[in-house]
Structure 1
Amino acid sequence: MDADDPVFPIAAAAELAGMHPQTLRQYDRLGLVVPQRTAGRSRRYSLRDVAQLREVQRLSGEGVSLEGIRRVLDLENEVVALRDRVRRLEQALANELLNRPGNRVFASSAQGDVVPLRQGVRAQRRTELVVWRPQE
């Protein structure tokens, strides 16, 4: 099971988070923790949603406003997305190094993809990052 799989109905998520289901509905309306919806429009929470609900409860107990909590959650979600992107780019680079041992020059496209360059070819755009390894 993935941490983002929407498996918990509102009652189970509320119990796991130690909150009342009405509190979860309120947080959904405010956009703090927005669960996925089934075809029948009922809420389904993931493990990540439950963790965020616990974080909301902790921050609220420390006196952080709901707007402050929203900002903290947005930043945490952005960090998770960026870490995932870095991991995927590192995997792509490692795969390129393994699959093309003779091609050791790469550039980053505008979309962030790793693009191998032929030996002696320069990146077309000055905004692209070029990574190389001297030949042994």
Structure 2
Amino acid sequence: MENTNQPRYVISVAAEILGMQTYTLRYYERVGIIKPFRSQGRIRLYSEQDIERLKLAKTLLDELGINMAGVEVILNMRNRIQELMSENEALKEEIQLLREE
């Protein structure tokens, strides 16, 4: 299974994929929408997950007219829901193992 959280795109490539300017990506980082990995040389590297998060942010901002604070709340809630779903699955597996004993 491919790791979608692996840093792989420099800022110029990420910007091209997203149809954004590099300064927009820097701004999104500054306001907390995204936190790209930094190489030892301090170069920003974006993962597939980062790209998907930025695509969603762009949709929320451009198409739905949600402000930046709202986008941040939505993205953070979405991450938390995904974390809770993963925890829930792990607990279900643990319960199943305990039942089998």
After superposition, the CA RMSD in angstroms is: 1.3
List gaps (5 residues or longer) in structure 1: 101-136
Greater RCO, CA 8 A, separation 6+: 2
Q: 1:80 matched to which residue of 2?
A: 82
SS, match of residue 13 in structure 2: helix
Q: Choose the corresponding residue for 1:95, options 91, 94, 97.
A: 97
TM-score scaled to structure 2, two decimals? 0.88
Quick one: distance in 1 between partners of 2:6 and 2:31?
22
Q: 1:46 matched to which residue of 2?
A: 47
Query: For the Cα contact (< 8 Å) 1:17–1:51, is it kept in 2?
Result: no
Structure ranking higher in strand proportion: 1
Please tell me whether Structure 1 or Structure 2 has the larger radius of gyration of its CA atoms.
1
List gaps (5 residues or longer) in structure 2: none
- Work out the number of aligned pairs and report it: 99
1:17 aligns with 2:18: yes
Quick one: distance in 1 between partners of 2:19 and 2:97?
44
Residues 57-89 of structure 1: CA distance to partner in whole angstroms, max 9, x if unpaired?
Answer: 111112111001111111011011111111111
TM-score scaled to structure 1, two decimals? 0.67
Q: 2:32 matched to which residue of 1?
A: 31
Cα deviation for residue 95 of structure 1 reads: 2.6
Letter in 2 for 1:6: P
Quick one: distance in 2 between partners of 1:78 and 1:4?
16
Residues 21-72 of structure 1: CA distance to partner in whole angstroms, max 9, x if unpaired?
Answer: 1111110011111111112211111111101111111111121110011111
